[in-house]
Amino acid sequence: MNRRAFLKKLTGYTLGVTAGGLVLPKEVKSELIKPFAELFSKNCLDDEIRSRIVELKRDNPNLQVGELHCHSYYSDGAYSVKDLMLRSASLGLDFLVITEHLTPRDYKLEHCLDSITAQRNIINRWNHGEMRPPAVYPAFEISTKEGHLIAVFPEDYFKPERLRDIKQYFSRFDYYSIPVELTADLIRKMGAVSIVSHPDIQRSYPFGISSGFVKEHLVGLVDGIEDMSAGHGYQKDYSAETGLATIGSSDDHLNIILGTVVTAFDGAKHDNIIEAIRSSDTRAVRLTNSLDILFTPTRLFFNI
């Protein structure tokens, strides 16, 4: 099938699933969209992303490029942690941060910890020849009183004794929405960094923290802010207004848009993404816009 015919078919399909999205439960939607997601990434996307990364590294061989916001089936994603890690490796991403939801009553800390443990086990048993695994970091996306905030922890937190520290301090998030200032303060005290996800995006429940609130209350407390999001389809300049690290990411739930909008940093200056974010020395980069056709239907379909 040529690209044009494929895109035509895709449009029909996405309109169909969007209509279905109004009535179907989430698990059914995930199963429905899986074959289509795989077809789409194989046909259109992956080669484009790979060659863009090669191009970027031609300009700066030390550049490190990765995904900072996505979900597996340990929260509300459709794919496994292993699927996301394998796809990231095959795209040539240097790091992958999987950010399961931590939401009172709906998505418990236990599932975030299970996801983190699964990631550690996959790295320990990695056996895919020439293909290097992406660097992974313990992380989750916390539903605070004012909206979503991502916490990314140093690799040291993969150790069981450090995971116990996370358990000790974050178990209360299973039951309560805690003000974002207190949450950010706790994240910083634990040596992790925090990122404001999808600012200004509104839902009927606290979702994107307003950029006004960030400017007034969170500068100096949080570390990064999503300037560019594939999943939410916007590009802004929040970081310039706040001095926070600029972040580009996908908020992928379907293993489709992963790696289409990424964050990059200079590996000669910083050892890892956490240090780069802390130094506010990052770049948000859109690697492809082939997916514009898919943005709105997918967002409506999954209500993400």
The residues of the shown chain that bind Zn ion, judged by CB under 5 A, are: 141, 148, 197, 251
CB of 84 to Zn ion, least distance (A): 13
How far, in Å, CA of 252 to CA of 28, rounded?
Answer: 18
Instruction: Tell which residue, 134, 108, 136, has the closest CA to residue 120.
Output: 136
Handedness of CA 38, 43, 44, 49 (dihedral sign): positive
Answer yes or no: are the C-beta atoms of 247 and 262 closer than 8 Å. no
Question: Which H helix or E strand runs over 53?
Answer: helix 46-59
- Give the residue with the Cβ less far from Zn ion, 174 or 281: 174
Question: 141 vs 200, which CB is nearer to Zn ion?
Answer: 141
Q: How far is the CB of 200 from Zn ion (least distance, A)?
A: 12
Cβ 25 to Zn ion shortest distance, Å:
20
Which residue is nearest to Zn ion, using beta carbons? Answer: 148
Please give the helix or strand (H or E) that residue 178 lies within, else none: none
Q: Which of 15, 7, 79 shows the shortest CA–CA distance to 40?
A: 7
56/259 with CB nearer Zn ion: 259
Closest separation in Å from C-beta 54 to Zn ion? 28
* Cβ 244 to Zn ion shortest distance, Å: 17
Gap between the Cα atoms of 188 and 152, Å rounded: 10
Nearer to Zn ion, 44 or 238 (CB): 238
> Coil, strand, or helix at residue 150?
strand
Q: In this complex, which beta carbon is closest to Zn ion, that of residue 39 or of residue 118? A: 118
